[in-house]
Amino acid sequence: MSLVYASLQEQKKMIGHIDAWLEKAVAHAKAKSFDPAVLLAARLAPDQYPLLRQVQACCDTAKFAAAYLSGKAAPKHPDTEQTLDEIRARIKACLAFLDTLKPADFEGAESRLVELSFMPGKVIKGSDYLTEMALPNFYFHTTLVYEILRHNGVDLGKRDYIGSLSLRDK
């Protein structure tokens, strides 16, 4: 399995974690008798995305990385979500697209030239795009989703973030 494909599989795993964190957030809000939608509008700096937009950003970063590196078209997911159920449906839609891609779709991905919409006239090599942009951005937004919830008292720990590891016996 190529490291490009493995990185994207890991993003898929992390997006599944985000869904589990949101489930914990709903239970936390219920236990404390507040509307879970309050969390969707929570943010850690006034000029930064709130939780809902951070989840959209996680999905988009993973979706576009998978699309750009495989040469497949990314499905359109307009940012219309407003509720927890809607944002969890967005996660499902993102995962459904990622599930369509197979290891063979990423053959030659490291040397594929990627075009960035905000950089007309320029391209970036697939391996540079993955290491310099897609991965740092994906983990940035994922960590902020985790942290906004953590800051608001949702009972999350490092194990919820990392999840299971492919350990082997010595």
DSSP 31-43: HTT--THHHHT--
Mapped onto helix, strand or coil, the DSSP state of residue 157 is coil
Whole-angstrom Cα Rg for the chain: 17
Total number of residues that touch a copy of itself (CB under 8 A): 48
Q: Residue 159, interface with a copy of itself (CB under 8 A)? A: no
Q: Which stretch binds a copy of itself (CB under 8 A): 60-68, 76-84, 86-94, 132-140?
A: 132-140
Cβ(88)–Cβ(19) below 8 Å: yes
Amino acid at 93: A
Burial (Cβ within 10 Å: 0-12, 13-18, ≥19) of residue 4: buried
Binding residue (CB under 8 A) for a copy of itself from 19, 105, 110, 160: 110
Q: Residue 127, interface with a copy of itself (CB under 8 A)? A: yes
Q: How far apart are CA 137 and CA 143, in angstroms?
A: 10
Q: What is the closest distance, in whole angstroms, from the C-beta atom of residue 141 to a copy of itself in the complex?
A: 9
10: tokens are 């890991």
Q: What is the closest distance, in whole angstroms, from the C-beta atom of residue 100 to a copy of itself in the complex?
A: 20
Q: Residue 124, interface with a copy of itself (CB under 8 A)? A: yes
Which residues here bind a copy of itself, judged by CB under 8 A? 1, 3-4, 6-7, 9-10, 13-14, 44-45, 48, 110, 113, 115-116, 119, 121-125, 127-128, 130-133, 135-137, 139-140, 143-144, 146-147, 150-151, 161-163, 165-170
